[in-house]
Every structure is written in structure tokens, then in C-alpha cells.
Structure 1
């Protein structure tokens, strides 16, 4: 992932009402797809400015927000300081492709429009699955497969995903109860791009 690209945009990221709306739609889809008790230890991976966590904060327990961009982490830290995010929320630097995953495990791992930036998809999915407690849920919102027109800056990630292939990839890293459903839509430069929500669960045993 190109952290510098997001560093440059972090301070004004939330000025775009479409980004805020989309984060709320992702959060609503997660809450509808995953049984939440209000006590879940949640990790938002590739959290950006923490918009999805903001929308979910009243429905989960302790939140950890991870991003590779120092600019995005600074915005999230400011939100924690000002009360837009919970005072006990933690902001950390984490790149599951480059770092060993931490020892801590989470009941819910959420990622919104981050997976298409990873280089090594299988390794990233395995790392995210490893971060789950037994019985914990992974929820990933991302783009359906597209023709490469979505990204205008220098981009070397994935041009969206085939839903069936991603479901198979999630099962291949040991997750079960895989579902992929419509989530929201992005309108950009006169074109529409469908976003799905993929959810899966780590088995209680095995």
C-alpha cells in the first residue's frame, strides 16, 4: 500500500460526504451480517480516518485502529483526543504483509476498501484470519472486479475481486460461514462501482 498517497489526503479525507456516507453503509452492513453483543474486541485494519469504527463504536467493545499511513493515524489520534472515537481506542501502525501480526486476538476484524491495496492476497487473508479469536468474525468491504478505471493514481493492487474466488480464498485460510453480499456503491467520474461485504468466521476449534 502506498502510505504517502494517503498521508497527503488524510487531513481532508472526511470532507467528502460520500466517504462518510459509505462508511456508515459499510458499518450498517457489518452490524446486519455479524451478531454483535456490544463487547467485541474490534480491529479495523486499514482504518483510514476511522470512519467505520466511528459508526460502529456504540455496538462493539474496545476498538483498535490500524493503518500504514502516518497521516491517517494522526487524524484518528486526534479523534480519540476529541471524543469522536472512544477514549480507550488504540491507534497503531500495522501492515500484515510486512510485519508479524501482534499477539492480541480480536472478536471482529473489519476492513473497508483496503484489501484491493494488498500485494499478497493469500498471505494478507491468512494474517487477518490469524488475528481472530476462535468464533471471531472477519468482515471485508471491497470492490467487485472492475476494469482498472477506479484508481487514477499510480496503482499496483487488485482491480476489485471476483466474489466466488474471494469466498474460496477465505475458506482456504480456514474460515467458515463465508458470505458475500451487496453492500454499497461508489459513483466516480460518471461511473458506478459496486462494493460487496464479505463475512466469514473462524471456527471454534481447529
Structure 2
């Protein structure tokens, strides 16, 4: 997945107060879209150090923390061990490089992950295959921001364009909204974040 090497270097100092706060806000936004999730299996896709997934652990029957960075996975493994969490697992894996045909989930959420993925359509199609019928993909990311010019990340997304793309893949009942605005939120620029919920 995009920028793995960068995340490898910052894994052990990733949990800053700012990131912890944004994770709380993102988790709360995701929580609003969960229905009867306590019997469901979830994947925190591109989990990083698990900041969002850890906030949502009690909502699900089980959770898989998935990331391409071994150092990030090491951090979340440590948390699972420290807190004696029984219903969580980890997987270090790159969806862009190989398929994982046996992986299944009822809920997949990805918070500030899509902007790091070069081929958005490819990964969203892969995630569609992983979802159980009726399952949900929840995306938290930045609204399109023309002030940001970067070679390494997308400068956010238009919600309508993302909805169109996901409809073509096969997702249905797609809904999205902007839920948070902050200063210096995205590469030192003021920015807003959206949540999108799509069903298989």
C-alpha cells in the first residue's frame, strides 16, 4: 500500500495527541453507522497503530487490524497484549500486491487510508470482494482540497465522484456527509473530513 516505508519510520511515535483526537472523532462518526454490529466481524483496514479500531473494539464480535507496515502491526500487537484483548487479531498484508481470497468481514472501515492508495478503484474493488453480502464499507477521509499539492497522497476526494466510482464497482445504498472541519488538519492546511457508508 502507498507510503508503507514512511509509516515504518514513524510507527513508534505515531500516537500524537492530535492523531488520538482525530481518531476519536472518526470513531464516533463510524459508530453512528453501525447496526447490530455486536455479532459482526470487522476489519480496520490500514489500521496504523489501531487508534480508530481500538475505540470501536467493543462494538464488534471480532476485529482484524490490517496494515502493510510491520512496525505499525507491532504497535497494535503490543496494545492487544497490554490490554489482554481476546477478540482482536492482526495481519500484515498488502492488498495491492496479492489477493486474500479467504478473508471475509461484515464491516470494513478505513480512516485516512484512501488518500495513500494510488489505485483507489482497484483497492475498493478488492474490499468489495472481502465484504459479506449486506456488509458495509465505511470510509473516513478528507474532502477534496485544492490547496494541497502532493506527489505522495491524493489531495482529498469529491464525495459525489467517490460515490459514482463505488456504484460502478457494485456498492449500493451509498450515503456520505462532511462531519468535521479543523485547522491545520491536512498537510498543515485547514480541511474538512467526510464519512461515506456503502453496502454490498
Q: Distance in 1 between matches of 2:52 and 2:156?
A: 20
Q: Distance in 2 between matches of 1:38 and 1:150?
A: 41
Any residues of structure 2 matched to 1:157-176 within 5 Å, and which? 157-176=153-172
**CA contact under 8 A between 2:61 and 2:87: conserved in structure 1?**
no
- Residues 1:4 and 2:5 are matched in the alignment: yes
Corresponding residue number in structure 1 for 2:190: 192
Normalized per residue, the structure richer in strand is: 2
For structure 2, list consecutive stretches of 5 or more residues without a partner in the other structure.
none
TM-score (norm 1): 0.89
SS at match of 2:25: helix
Corresponding residue number in structure 1 for 2:52: 52
For structure 1, list consecutive stretches of 5 or more residues without a partner in the other structure.
none
1:119-171 deviation digits (Å, cap 9, x = unpaired): 111111101111100010000001111125376xxx43311111100011111
Corresponding residue number in structure 2 for 1:79: 79
SS at match of 2:39: coil
Deviates more, 1:156-165 or 1:64-73: 156-165
Corresponding residue number in structure 2 for 1:136: 135
182 and 37 in structure 1: CA distance in 2 versus 1, 3 angstrom threshold: same
1:104-128 deviation digits (Å, cap 9, x = unpaired): 2100000000001111111111011
SS at match of 2:37: coil
Q: Distance in 2 between matches of 1:130 and 1:178?
A: 17
Deviates more, 1:20-29 or 1:132-141: 20-29
Q: Distance in 2 between matches of 1:101 and 1:148?
A: 37
User: Considering only aligned residues, what root-mean-square deviation do their CA atoms show, in Å?
Assistant: 1.7
Corresponding residue number in structure 1 for 2:90: 91
66 and 150 in structure 1: CA distance in 2 versus 1, 3 angstrom threshold: farther
Corresponding residue number in structure 2 for 1:183: 179
TM-score (norm 2): 0.92
Corresponding residue number in structure 2 for 1:201: 199
4 and 201 in structure 1: CA distance in 2 versus 1, 3 angstrom threshold: same
SS at match of 2:58: coil
25 and 36 in structure 1: CA distance in 2 versus 1, 3 angstrom threshold: farther
